[in-house]
Structure 1
Amino acid sequence: MLVRDLSRRNFLLAAGVAATAVSVSSTAARSQDVKRVRLMHTQAGDPAMRKYFIDAIAQYNGENPGVEIIPEFIPWNEAYPKVQAGLQSGTPPDIVHGDPFAYGAMLAFGILEPVTGIIQELGWANDMYPNTRVVVEGNDFLVPTWAETLGLFYRKDWLEEKGISAPFKSWDEIIRAARALTEPEKGRWGISMGLKRAGKLGDDFFSVLTGLGGHIYNEDRTTAVNTPLFKETMEIFRQLCECSPPDSVEWEYAGVRTGYKTGKVGLHLYEPRTMTEILGEPYGGYGSGFPDLLDVTQWQMLPTRSAAEWPNKAFVRASLEGFCILKGSPLKDEAAKFITWFLKDRERYIRMLQTVPLMELPVLESVVEGDEYWDHVSYKRRPDIVPLLKGAMRAYGRSTIVNRKMDVYPSTVIAESSMALGSLAIDDALLAYISEKQPIDTVISELETKLAHFIRT
């Protein structure tokens, strides 16, 4: 079995701590008259997206007497612990909208309902990029809504000052550029790396590793970290971190973006969210924006193994997010009806994505290749971004990597890998090697032990 049976009673918290599972029973004592469907959503940090969901849910509740969708918006890293707590108390949510850290853990422990029927009802099966389907033993366990493609931001003006050309086709080029841009006496540093033990470092490492053809688990579920490629990727990160500001030891996801937006660094790894924030509210983003960066910032796909492969054969890693339904929910039919209603209307789907422009990209090829989604003030202000993001989604579509937070092979989903990343095991290994300067073989040995634990437990 690729996914463990629910009868196994060992669950892991996202932090990697063992706990005891309980079977899904009932989400709550429910009214006889109103079926209350709990939706847990991890998009707590985007006000426009949150408001869009609240308004859409209010519309659905008004059109469907006898059913009430009750949303709860939480930080992305709280989803699985909250689901686990709900299981233990007998009050889990019915629907979760989250990222691989959330549904990966739930998938690993067999607590998700198949949702292939919803995808068929939507008529999406032949329109979705293949990599946007999380399929185990013939069943879909995620109704995807969007993909967040990881790439590299760079300051065009800083590079021009140094006579450096971009985009970059290899990691050697990026490392050379980061070194050239590192000028502490000017308050400038080459690249923004998240060196706080908070997940960003391991997340980025896994993306680079998979882009170079590596994995953290083999297809037979043994560890894949004691390899030349894994060590090579660790060395890439060591050299990049040498070009990151001293205070980046306190940076995680938001800190990395702030380092770039405040003019401290010239490069950083991130999804297009940074550009959404640079655009600001005047151009469909959010916040006041950063006008000084608006025309000097560019984004590209990450390099692959060979410079000759970029960009036409580049693989893009993306965080795939969407809806899943908890196994045993007494309201799974009502949950499925809501998800279908929410996504069936193409205009509604596109408007939802446009609440966080550039960041949340469509999982449907027809939407990516069409004009409606791109008819937005953000893309009109920076039309040069459109072909870059289209290219990224095409590259993601041809990749064999389903998303950047889960180890996936053509016929095997290793869901435990999302828990391994969420537990910060990769962060710990990198920090031991980069910051503590421990021998690489010692670091790899300790990491192998930790990763094997996730498969055994």
Structure 2
Amino acid sequence: MQLNRRELMAGATAMALASQMGTARAAGAINYWHHFASQSEMEGLAKIISLFQAKYPGTKVTQEGIPNSEYMAKVSSAVVAGGKPDTGMVITERFADLVAMNGLVDLSARVKAWPGKSNFPDNRWKGLSQDGKIYAVPAFAFVDWMYYRADYFEQAGLSGPPKNFDEFVQAARKLTDPSKGRYAFSMRGGAGAFKYVIDVMEAFGSPIVKDGKPAIDRAAAIEAVTFYSDLFVKEKVVPPSAPNDSYRQIMEAFRTGQTAMVWHHTGSLSEISGALKQGTQFQTAPMPAGPKAQIARVAYAGNGVMKEDNIEDAWQWVSFWGEPEAAIALLEATGYFPASTAALQDPRLTSNKIYDAAVKTLDFGRLPNTFVGAAGWSENVVNPAFQSVLTGQSKPTDAVDRMIKGLDAAMR
């Protein structure tokens, strides 16, 4: 669970009472904490470990998977108790919190001396750096895009995917047929719904944070929440289960043919490709543009060193993830997009048209919002506020006011 600025270290201290102290590791052996969980992710990780140990046979990597929802709690406890791992996964949304709790080692000097740095443009480091210091090496990216059923679009007489929200609604109406149990769009209204609520708000012109301060434009945000919730409340182009649907439900609906479109990112490509044929049954497209902006996140995930005990071996491990072979191994197993420009030139990527939408998105995609307490506000305020609109318990105006108040509290 992510904590706000005031609660961050207090919660970590309390959890540390129940934490076991970490054991020191000899040089040549490091451990790695991550929140990979799916079969494809674990296959990709196993391949990277195999490649790494073939290059560095003297270093043994022990991996430990931690459920995503528990990752920050465990790291927080380990920071206070002195039981940090050698290395750990770092995602943009959690970076500010990790730095605030002194959970990462400054890698600036090593990165600047690393030959591989030239393969990473400045924007790759932005979400993994603070105050001129670099704390993690980019490993892969979650690039937002839209999956759509190419066969359903053809049947409905639609020439291609929607390029903007107006076209999205028009297509959704044509693709929905409740009598056949078919709906246009897999809306995520349950756990994780906040991501797309925030994106739609920005697409309608409302920032979230500006110059380190809360900056939601109330009028634009209300317009955005109204538009997005109306897909369920008025247009009825999403399944009736939407208020409770999270990742698993929206993916199952798309994979089984209940829905014709779903918003997600490149990380789900492997799962969808296992059920549907690329190109003929489904295709990918950039996220549709809103009235004010085309919003798609490019969230660079990396790996950082969490303690200096075995810094040489730890650095070899985190920097190895930035090499093309490691990036392509993960891409082939999961669909997680390379952060390295060298890997983007690999024929195994360029020859597959399914990746074209992701490559286009790299030109305009934005980093996720990052500020201390961001995840806590998103999960504990935005999510239930939007869900209450879908269930008829509140109006968009009420939901937005709740979000504004919650954001002010989270950033104090």
TM above 0.5, one fold?
yes
User: Offset of 1:387 from its aligned partner?
Assistant: 2.9
1:361 equivalent in alignment to 2:337:
yes
Structure 2 Cα separation of the partners of residues 278 and 128 of structure 1: 29
1:39 equivalent in alignment to 2:32:
yes
CA gap of 1:363–1:273, structure 2 versus 1, over 3 A, is: closer
CA gap of 1:209–1:395, structure 2 versus 1, over 3 A, is: same
Structure 1 Cα separation of the partners of residues 291 and 389 of structure 2: 26
User: Offset of 1:154 from its aligned partner?
Assistant: 1.5
Structure 1 Cα separation of the partners of residues 106 and 205 of structure 2: 30
TM-score norm. by structure 1 comes to: 0.77
User: Offset of 1:297 from its aligned partner?
Assistant: 1.1
Match of 2:45 in 1: 50
Identity %: 19
Match of 1:195 in 2: 189
Match of 1:347 among 325, 329, 343: 325
CA gap of 1:290–1:334, structure 2 versus 1, over 3 A, is: same
Structure 1 Cα separation of the partners of residues 46 and 255 of structure 2: 26
| Cα distance per residue 1:136-190 (max 9 Å; x no partner) | 2111223111111111121222223333332212112112222332211111011
Q: Tell me the secondary structure at the aligned position of residue 364 of structure 2.
A: helix
Match of 2:231 among 236, 240, 253: 240
Match of 1:445 among 390, 396, 401: 401
Structure 2 Cα separation of the partners of residues 364 and 372 of structure 1: 14
Once superposed, what is the RMSD of the aligned Cα atoms? 3.1
Q: Tell me the secondary structure at the aligned position of residue 438 of structure 1.
A: coil
Higher relative contact order (CA 8 A, sep 6+): 2
Structure 2 Cα separation of the partners of residues 130 and 304 of structure 1: 25
Structure 1 unaligned runs (5+)? 1-7, 13-17, 281-288, 408-413
Match of 1:392 among 361, 381, 398: 361
Structure 2 Cα separation of the partners of residues 60 and 39 of structure 1: 18
8 A contact 2:163–2:288 mirrored in 1: yes
Q: Tell me the secondary structure at the aligned position of residue 28 of structure 1.
A: coil
1:182 equivalent in alignment to 2:176:
yes
8 A contact 1:191–1:244 mirrored in 2: yes
User: Offset of 1:224 from its aligned partner?
Assistant: 2.4
CA gap of 1:320–1:214, structure 2 versus 1, over 3 A, is: farther
CA gap of 1:57–1:40, structure 2 versus 1, over 3 A, is: farther
| Cα distance per residue 1:65-102 (max 9 Å; x no partner) | xxx43210223332111212323433122311143344
1:318 equivalent in alignment to 2:287:
no
Match of 2:62 in 1: 70
8 A contact 1:105–1:419 mirrored in 2: no
Map 1:36-115 → 2, pairs under 5 A: 36-45=29-38, 46-56=41-51, 58-59=53-54, 62-64=57-59, 68-115=60-107
Structure 1 Cα separation of the partners of residues 253 and 312 of structure 2: 46
| Cα distance per residue 1:282-337 (max 9 Å; x no partner) | xxxxxxx334x751212111123459x8xxxx5531222110223x5534444223
CA gap of 1:263–1:175, structure 2 versus 1, over 3 A, is: same
Match of 2:222 in 1: 231
| Cα distance per residue 1:40-89 (max 9 Å; x no partner) | 0122212321321442455467324xxx4321022333211121232343
1:130 equivalent in alignment to 2:127:
no
Q: Tell me the secondary structure at the aligned position of residue 366 of structure 1.
A: helix
Structure 1 Cα separation of the partners of residues 15 and 394 of structure 2: 43
Letter in 1 for 2:33: M
1:262 equivalent in alignment to 2:237:
no
TM-score norm. by structure 2 comes to: 0.85
Structure 2 Cα separation of the partners of residues 331 and 9 of structure 1: 32
8 A contact 1:195–1:249 mirrored in 2: yes
Letter in 1 for 2:173: R
Map 1:265-280 → 2, pairs under 5 A: 265-280=259-274
Deviation above 6 Å: which 4+ runs of structure 1?
A: none
Structure 2 Cα separation of the partners of residues 428 and 123 of structure 1: 46
Structure 2 Cα separation of the partners of residues 80 and 95 of structure 1: 14
Structure 2 Cα separation of the partners of residues 50 and 124 of structure 1: 20
Equivalent pairs counted in the alignment come to: 400
Structure 1 Cα separation of the partners of residues 322 and 300 of structure 2: 19
Structure 2 unaligned runs (5+)? none
CA gap of 1:195–1:269, structure 2 versus 1, over 3 A, is: same
Q: Tell me the secondary structure at the aligned position of residue 367 of structure 1.
A: helix
Structure 1 Cα separation of the partners of residues 323 and 153 of structure 2: 44
| Cα distance per residue 1:324-382 (max 9 Å; x no partner) | 223x5534444223223x246433443333222xx2112122332x233427xxx5xxx
8 A contact 1:103–1:324 mirrored in 2: no
Match of 2:309 among 300, 314, 330: 330
- After superposing the two structures, state which structure 1 stretch, 427-436 or 91-100, moved more: 91-100
8 A contact 1:107–1:415 mirrored in 2: no
Letter in 2 for 1:364: S
Map 1:283-302 → 2, pairs under 5 A: 289-291=275-277, 295-302=280-287
Letter in 1 for 2:303: F
